[in-house]
Amino acid sequence: MRTRYNAVITALGGYVPDTILTNHDLEELVDTNSEWIVSRTGIKERRIVKDPNIATSDMATLALLRLMEDGNVQPDEIDCVIVSTSTPDYVMVSTGSMVCEKAGLKNAWGIDTNAACSGFLYALTLGASMIESGRSKKVVVIGADKNSSIVNYTDRNTCILFGDGAGAVLLEKTEEEFGLMDSFFRTDGSGKENLIVTAGGSKNPASQETLDQKLHYVRQDGRVVFKAAIQGMTDTCNEILKANHLQSSQIDHLVPHQANLRIIQAVGDNLGLSAEQVKINIDRYGNTTAATIPLCLWDYQKDFKAGDNMILTAFGAGFSWGATYLKWGKLRHKTSENED
């Protein structure tokens, strides 16, 4: 239940690596072709970290620095950094801690959360709760993943899908009717059979055997995930619409997790939304896991007006899925036309 304040997004930042991995590049690596990839997924290219010294926290920090610059936020003002990632820098030492260090945040604490592709949405609700309760004043929520660190570039079922990137939002309190209004989330652990990185955690610590069996790479049953994603996102969007007495015609923007263009279009069709209502950037970035939704918000921010009704929805490993309803607010300092 919401208490004193609403939590509203007041600044955004994003980062994708410079290196572009095109479908034609992938034709050199696996038995595939660009036409197949575009028609089955909508992905034309994705960004990949080339420099082995760049980890998830570096991308997350660059997204945060962009947010601080565009939003005119000083490092000392930020209370808390929540990083959602499935590809942390380390098993022990949170990526949130690394981001606070690298961005020079002296008054903040940083943690990680992980719900794979749903991670940003879940973290956004956690961050909003910190603001709504009055416990924090400025919470940064980041979705960041270096998927190239867990993708097997000899497996055509997965390597065509994923890219690297990071997106960040700043949450602050408002007494106006803007911000996060409601969330509806679900998880089903039995879904782990269909989308998982099996080794590297406490269940299957790294060993010669796990390396030999390539268990440190993501593997999936694409068809099962495909169907479950459409169902899960459609159902939770409908739940959130119903709970908030909204018709789909009242939704200005659906910002879905970007896993597959056909999944996104099916969810949009199921909800009765027009193409203009559904925000898409999968063609350029592929699936950046926890980063897709904040990167999409970052890309489309100029289209959003204060008071717009928005539904964010995601589906990912776990299985984990859900939808969040928010009313767009006022950004602290919109990027002006003559700035990059």
Catalytic residues: 117, 257, 287
Give residues 153-182 in contact with ligand COA (rule: CB under 6 A): 156-157, 160-161
CA gyration radius, the chain: 19
- Alpha carbon distance 330, 202 (integer Å): 43
* Torsion sign over Cα 20, 318, 58, 312: positive
DSSP 101-150: HHHT-SS-EEEEE--GGGHHHHHHHHHHHHHHTTS-S-EEEEEEEEGGGT
Is residue 309 a contact point for ligand COA (CB under 6 A)?
Answer: no
**And the tokens for 204?**
């299957």
Distances (CA, A) of 321 to 42, 186, 188, 281, 334: 21, 5, 9, 20, 31
Q: Considering only 36-44, 122-130, 141-149, 300-308, which stretch makes contact with ligand COA by CB under 6 A?
A: 36-44
User: Smallest gap, in angstroms, from Cβ of residue 286 to ligand COA?
Assistant: 10
Q: Which is nearer to ligand COA, 32 or 149 (CB)?
A: 32
Residue 279 makes CB contacts below 8 A (sequence gap 6+) with 253, 254, 255, 256, 296, 299, 300, 303
Give residues 44-103 in contact with ligand COA (rule: CB under 6 A): none
Is residue 335 a contact point for ligand COA (CB under 6 A)?
Answer: no
Q: Which is nearer to ligand COA, 33 or 207 (CB)?
A: 33
Q: Considering only 46-54, 92-100, 202-210, 218-226, which stretch makes contact with ligand COA by CB under 6 A?
A: 218-226
Is residue 40 a contact point for ligand COA (CB under 6 A)?
Answer: yes
Is residue 41 a contact point for ligand COA (CB under 6 A)?
Answer: yes
Is residue 226 a contact point for ligand COA (CB under 6 A)?
Answer: yes
User: Smallest gap, in angstroms, from Cβ of residue 250 to ligand COA?
Assistant: 27
Kindly determine how many residues on this chain lie close enough to bind ligand COA according to the rule CB under 6 A: 21
Is residue 42 a contact point for ligand COA (CB under 6 A)?
Answer: no
- Alpha carbon distance 304, 310 (integer Å): 9
Residue type, 169: V
Is residue 287 a contact point for ligand COA (CB under 6 A)?
Answer: yes
172-202 burial code (b ≥16 CB/10 A, e <16)? bbbeeebbbbbbbbbeeeebeebbebbbeee
Is residue 105 a contact point for ligand COA (CB under 6 A)?
Answer: no
Q: Considering only 172-180, 204-212, 216-224, 322-330, which stretch makes contact with ligand COA by CB under 6 A?
A: 216-224
- Position closest to ligand COA via CB: 222
Q: Which residues bind ligand COA (CB under 6 A)?
A: 32, 36, 40-41, 117, 156-157, 160-161, 195, 220, 222-223, 225-226, 229, 259-260, 287, 315-316
